[in-house]
Each structure stands twice: as C-alpha cells, then as structure tokens.
Amino acid sequence: MAKNVHNDYKMKFSVDEEYPDLSLHNNHMAKVLTKEMYAKLRSKSTPSGFTLDDCIQTGVDNPGHPFIMTVGCVAGDEESYEVFKDMFDPIISDRHSGYKPTDKHVTDLNFENLKGGDDLDPAYVLSSRVRTGRSIKGYTLPPHNSRAERRMVEKLSIEALATLDGEFKGKYYPLNGMTDAEQDQLINDHFLFDKPVSPLLLAAGMARDWPDARGIWHNDAKSFLVWVNEEDHLRVISMEKGGNMKEVFRRFCVGLNKIEEVFKKHNHGFMWNEHLGFVLTCPSNLGTGLRGGVHVKLPKLSTHAKFEEILTRLRLQKRGTGGVDTASVGGIFDISNADRLGSSEVNQVQLVVDGVKLMVEMEKKLEKGESIDAIIPAQK
Amino acid sequence: MAHSFGRILSSKRNVGILSLIGAGSVTAGFLLKREHVSAGAGVRRVYPASAEYPDLRKHNNCMASHLTPAIYAKLVDKATPNGYTLDEAIQTGVDNPGHPFIKTVGMVAGDEESYQVFADLLNPVIKERHNGYDPETMTHPTDLDSSKLTSGQFDDRYVLSSRVRTGRSIRGLSLPPACTRAERREVERVVVDALAGLKEDLAGKYYSLTNMTDQEQQQLIDDHFLFDKPVSPLLTCSGMARDWPDARGIWHNNTKTFLVWINEEDHTRVISMEKGGNMKRVFDRFCTGLKEVERLIQEKGWEFMWNERLGYILTCPSNLGTGLRAGVHVKLPRLSKDPRFSKILDNLRLQKRGTGGVDTAAVGSTFDISNLDRLGQSEVQLVQTVVDGVNYLIECEKKLEKGQDIKIPAPYRK
C-alpha cells in the first residue's frame, strides 16, 4: 500500500541520481530505456502501486548474456502495459518482430482449424506438448501480488478446475501440503515445479512467500496439467508421448475453453485485449503465450551446416530437452514455435506441425546419404 | 552543508515522528495521483489482515516466533515516512523458514524509523535475540576508548590473526533493503569523501566494484578483501542485492589493516585486522579509525544512526548496539575435540565459526572464535570478553598439551 509513498519519496532525488547504470547491459529494457524515458515514466504508478523501477528491477539486476537477449522487465499488473507503454511498446516491437502499437492480435483456439498434426513419425518425435499462460483479471501479477491475492488466485483456480470432468477430471496438489509419496510421483512424472532459481525470476519478486498458494493440478490421465502461481497466475500444459500434436492441441483448446468458461461465470475472465492478446507477466509471452513443441531426434540434421537457417526460416527455435537454457542430449531437441504475438494459436501450432514434419523428412534423407538442398524452405 | 540531501536530512532530524498511514488515506492518494488507464482496469483490492497473514507454521526464526496475527493486523497498514512496510521488513523471514538448529532473525529494517514504526514486532525480536535486552526500558552503553583494554596480546603460536568488525549507517538515508539508487550512491559519496580525509597509517584508497581493473580485482581477491554479490537467500530476499554492483565498493588503507565495505549488507562495514595476536593494536586502530571517520562525516553535516536505546542502528536487528564482532583465528586441536568445548565457549560468551566466516566449517582445528553478544554491553566490554575468553582457551589448550585437566569456567557475569 505504501508503494506510492515510497515512489513519491524517490521523486525528491534527481533523474541523474536515480537512473540505473545500464552501460554493461544487454537486454531489451536496457536498449530502450534512455534517461529521458526514465525521467518521463518514473513518477507514474499503476493503480495498484507498481512503478517503473519495479518493472525494470530484474533487468537492472541481470545485465544479460552476450548472446541471448533477455527482456529485462516484467509487468506487475494488467495496467503496467498501459501506464508504461512508452517503454513496453518498443520492447514488444523488438521482441515480437516489429509488432506495432496499432497492430491487432488474433486469438484462435479452434483446434479444428489445424491441418494434419496426427502423423508425425513417433520413431523420431518422442513427445508433443503445448503450453500457455493465463492471468486472472482483477488480480495483480506474480511480481507484485500480495499473499491474499495469490491465495485468491489459487482458490479460484481450484474451484474452476474441480468442475472439470470426463477426460479433464483431475486433482490439485498444493505445494505446501503434498505428501512425500505425492511429491515423488509428481517428480517422476516430470510435473513438479520447484521454487525458481533463475535470478531473472527471483529479481522480479515472483518467488516471494514460496510455496504459499502454489500448486499443481493434473487430470487423471496425466495429459493436461495446470501450474498455479509460478511465473504466471496459471500455466496450462497439454502433453503426451509420441507425435500426435493434433490430439495434444485439441485437448489444449478444449481444456482451456472449459476453464475460461468457469472463470467467466464467476466474473473472473482472463486478462486479454485485442492489441496484446493474453496478458502475462513477461512481455515475451504476450499474444498467445503459446509454446508448442516436440522432443525430436535429429542427430544428423542438427549437425548440418544449415540447421540454424532452416529453423529460422520455419519460425522455430531449438532448446535442450531440459527446457529453456539447457543443452541437447543425444541429438534429441526440443523444437517449438518462436513467435507468440501477432499470429494465432492455430498459426503457431501449424508452423510446428509443418516444420517438424519437414525436418523429420530431412533427417531421413540425411540418413540415406541424400542431400536436403531441394527441400530447404523459403522464409515463412 | 550539501545539496538536496541536506534538506532531506534536516527534515528527518526528528526521528521520533512516525507516519502512520491508514489504508483510507493511501487509497485517496492513489485516486488523486493515478494516471488515466483504460476503462475496466481493476483497482487493487484491499484485503483484511487475516487474509494477508503469512503462513509461518513451518518457520523457525525470531520474526515467526513473535509475529502473531494481532501484531500483524496492527502493523500491516503502517509505513515509515519513506514508505517502508511491515511486509517488506518480514519478507526475508517468510521466504526463509529457517533451520531446525539455527534460529535466524527473519526480518530487517529498511530505515532508521523502522525500529520505531514496527517496534511492536521488533522489540520482542530484539529481546529474544539479545538475551532479554528490552529497548523500551534499557539503555545501551557505547565505549570506543580502546585504552581500557587489558591483556590484549595473544600468544602468536596459537592465534593466527585478530580482527574486529562493525557496521555504521548514515543517518537520513534508507538502509540497503529499501534504499533507492540515489540514496545508495549518496552513501558511497559521503563515505568515500570522508575516507579520503584519513591520514598516515589510515591513509588509503577506494575501489569501486563497478570500476576496478582486473588487476585490482585479483589483488583484492588475493588479500581476501573482495566481497561479492550476496548469494545467501537470507540477504537476497530482503532486497539488499538490488542494482548490484552499483555504488558498492571497498576501501582499504595502504597497510591493508583497516578496511571499509560500502553498501554490502549495511551502509558501511568497518574492519580492523592483522596477522598474529595483537588484538590491542587491532582494537586501537578500530576505535581511532571509526572516530576519525565520524569526525570527517560530521564536518560535512552528516552523522551515524545511533540512539541510546539501540546503540548503532544497522540493517539486521542482530547487529544492533555495537554491531561488533571481535574475533581471532586460533589453533585449538586438543580443546576442540574435548566434549566440554561447547560448554566452555557458552560460559565465556563466545561462539565458534569456521575460518570462512559464518556458516562455514573449521579447517584443521583452526577456529574463528568471537563474541556472541552485540547489544547491552559496550565495545570495550565485548572486546575484553573476547580477550579474556581466548586467553582462557589458550590456557586450556596448553594444559591439555601437558596432559593436565581443564575446568569449565563459571558462566560469564557482566
């Protein structure tokens, strides 16, 4: 509550004295936040009391990597993207391939619009997964929320998820109450998330009060999973072994729509607007917030000179099988969509489906000693 | 007198003024100041204290022991004049439940006023941590007259090094958990400016963490002077590491016996040290150096945070009073294996640590032995306790060498 008092206190000091030293920094925030912009925005505060310094703390504390460009700022609530528009707009443009402040984002969670996706070769595609995030309107986001707000998000989520039935019937496991047996099972299923260790997240304040009001819900079939109060209010994940991305996406869309209906009925819709799509904590996840991907064996293609180029043209990115910031093991890669904002869920999953199919073809050709030059795609 | 900071300082001289901010007036402030945002944007809900009260069931720290729902409800809407809140003060204790064996403090102060605004919680915490010291009724003695120290020369065959450290905060500027970048930079300026005025055996040089050359950095590492960004979650959760390494640095004198850390866990940490057992000389230099730095900042219109109830005001309540840890690295191969070792230390009001400092293990029976207490006794008294205690430990070690038996000393009486 006293956040504005503190910000008013800070205004007594000059811009020169307060402006952060970003000379060694390499993140989107540092590229964009000039002293003039800082001067213009520093007196502002969202209605809940989130300030510019709160947004940028993670980017000040984490100068970044010479090769990887991190975002360097977060939103503390839905209004952050509006109040600090002057900073967020250029960051969003830079991160999301030139997305303009006047652009409109299309949301399409109609799984029937996906073509194919049920015929990825399981000899190569080991698993398929689609994840996204959702924020509950009216509550501040993980960098800023109070304990009571976080607990309300958990309470609403548990209530909503408890209404699901059929293939979505499941159970909630609060982090702060699970038995050892439950914990072991969740670890074995690779479902359990732990307190963040990344300084990018810690510096943004998302791990406060851990593990209060954090938990994991999953359906009995273990193919649909929801994380509550980790980096976002909700992270929703649909997954299964093998290459049936079509089915994974169907379950993703159906499940999400069901959950959203329940939240809306209780007057708590998801944060969404026609410019930014789904509003999430990190600007990198705006739009669809969707990462659809597979674990796929590409030992030959991954060592091909044009591998990176192919990925770029297909609008895909690679990660190790441990997720972001991990290395590949045994030629198995996590391949997913690179885009989030400016194209729909269907578009993005379509790119994954088509792109992975093509790359598996390339792998097979390389196995036979054939060239892949003829099937290298144009830029999508 | 300086600039804008001078004005802020003079308005804060009346440290007793509290800014009690109820939820109503703060909300009004929001409505008056808020920028226009798109229609339908939610205003932050204000929840009752009971909905916000932290889950402390698995916690074992001083804050958790004393933060009842009633005290939480009483303090949760308050803020210091700079806007520091209870939730901020206790965040480190909520995030770090503690160790079953070690009882951490579990809260920090964001500014000098925290100790008054949140007194209902801090006083019982202080009382528990400092053996019954009651800030409401007791006064803390400050005594930096090192000439009073007796027998301060240890046997160099046992004592490898001697060291005294404390902290000092600059009145009028917020503490590391809460300070803005401007305040932190002002602390650096004020202190570096004062240190530049030290002369003779105290004359030295400042090395800013942002600006040091690779060579300087290596030298500081080799001298064991360089401090790095805190990794302990006890510290990082309280916000002390924000904006690292901005306005952080190390100053030391040319002879490398007097060292000042700037903007680490406190505004300043002041350290006097040398190899061998001449604790007297270490303490002399400590007192002289501190008094000289104080004189130099006072010339510019600044002063240290101090009051007669709590002594020197520092970030962590465990360092109130003297903020002093006087210690030695001492070889006690036989005594350390004696089952009575812990009891002897307890009765002498001493603690042992490994030679890497707090939370480390001893290496090859060389221990870091220092005073347990900080508040309620003066600097002279505490260093004398260490001197008398370490002399006793060495006597025990010598007795054990000769095959003689040792005695557990009577519990220390002031």
Question: A349 and A117 in contact (C-beta within 8 Å)?
Answer: yes
Burial classification of residue A36, based on how many CB atoms lie within 10 Å of its CB (0-12 exposed, 13-18 middle, 19 or more buried): exposed
Q: Say yes or no for a CB contact (<8 Å) between A10 and B182.
A: yes
Query: DSSP secondary-structure letter at B397?
Result: H
Using alpha carbons only, give the angle A355, A358, A361 rounded to the nearest 5 degrees. Answer: 150
Residue A4 pLDDT? 82
Within 13 Å and on the Cβ side, how many CA atoms surround B221?
Answer: 9
> In this complex, is the C-beta atom of B83 within 8 Å of any C-beta atom belonging to chain A?
yes
ipTM: 0.91
Q: How far is A210 from chain B (nearest CA, A)?
A: 6
Please state, in angstroms and rounded to a whole number, the distance separating the CA atoms of residues B329 and B366. 6
What's the pLDDT score for residue B8?
38
Its pTM stands at: 0.89
Environment class of residue A307 by beta-carbon count within 10 Å: exposed (0-12), middle (13-18) or buried (19+)? middle
SS3 B105: coil
Nearest by CB to residue B33, choosing from A4, A13, A212, is: A4
CB proximity B190 to A under 8 Å: no
Chain B residues in contact with A1 by the CB 8 A cut-off are 21, 23, 26, 46, 77, 79, 85
Looking at residue B355, what is its pLDDT? 76
- Can you say whether the dihedral through the CA atoms of A203, A276, A340, A342 is positive or negative? negative
Peptide bond into B54 cis (omega under 30): no
Interchain CB contact of B236 with A (< 8 Å): yes
Q: Nearest CA to CA, how far is B13 from chain A (Å)?
A: 16
Sites in chain B below the pLDDT cut of 50: 1-44
Interface test with B, best of A6, A21, A85, A149 (most B CBs within 10 A): A6
Tell me if B54 and A149 make a contact (CB, 8 A cut-off).
no
Predicted pLDDT of residue B357: 61
Instruction: Report CB contact under 8 Å: B51, A151.
Output: yes
Q: Which of B44, B53, B242 sits opposite A47 (nearest CB)?
A: B44
Give the per-residue pLDDT at B223: 86
Helix runs in B34-100, H state only: 49-52, 62-66, 69-75, 86-95
Low-confidence spans in chain A with pLDDT less than 50: 1
A-chain CB neighbours of B243 within 8 Å are 20-21, 60-61
Q: How far is A82 from chain B (nearest CA, A)?
A: 7
* Rounded CA separation A302/A268 (Å): 45
The tens digit of pLDDT for each residue in A321-343 reads 766 666 777 899 999 999 999 99
Over the range B283-322, which residues count as b (16 or more CB within 10 Å of their CB) and which as e? bbbbbbbbeebbebbeeeebebbbbebbbbbbbbbbbbbb
What tokens were used for A207? 């791990």
- Please tell me the distance from the alpha carbon of residue B149 to that of residue B143, in angstroms, as a whole number: 11
B132 touches chain A (CB under 8 A): no
Question: Model confidence over A183-202: pLDDT tens digits?
Answer: 888 988 878 888 888 999 99
Size of chain A, expressed as the number of residues it contains: 380
Q: Does B42 touch chain A (CB under 8 A)?
A: yes
Residue A54, exposed/middle/buried by CB under 10 A (0-12, 13-18, 19+)?
buried
Distance between CA atoms of residues B361 and A320, nearest Å = 37
Please report the pLDDT score of residue A102 as a whole number: 97
Contact residues for B375 (Cβ-Cβ < 8 A; gap 6+): B126, B130, B133, B140, B310, B311, B320, B321, B322
Give the C-alpha distances (Å, rounded to integers) separating A363 from A123, A303, A351, A353, B277.
12, 11, 18, 15, 71
With an 8 Å Cβ cutoff, is B35 touching chain A? yes
Give pLDDT, residue B215.
92
Cβ count within 10 A of residue B256 = 14
Top residue of A5, A11, A80, A176 to mutate, by most chain B CBs within 10 Å, is A5
Distance set, CA B79 to CA B5, B17, B62, B107, B360 (Å): 21, 12, 21, 15, 37
- Peptide bond preceding B245 in cis form (omega within 30 of 0): yes
Pick from B44, B55, B238 the residue to mutate for testing the A interface (most A CBs within 10 Å): B44
Residues in chain B within 8 Å Cβ distance of A203 = 242
pLDDT at B362: 67
Q: Classify residue B228 by burial, with Cβ atoms within 10 Å: 0-12, 13-18, 19+.
A: exposed
- What mean pLDDT, rounded, does chain B reach? 88
Partners of A211 on chain B (C-beta within 8 Å) are none
Scanning the structure block, which residue is given the tokens 């903007």?
B263
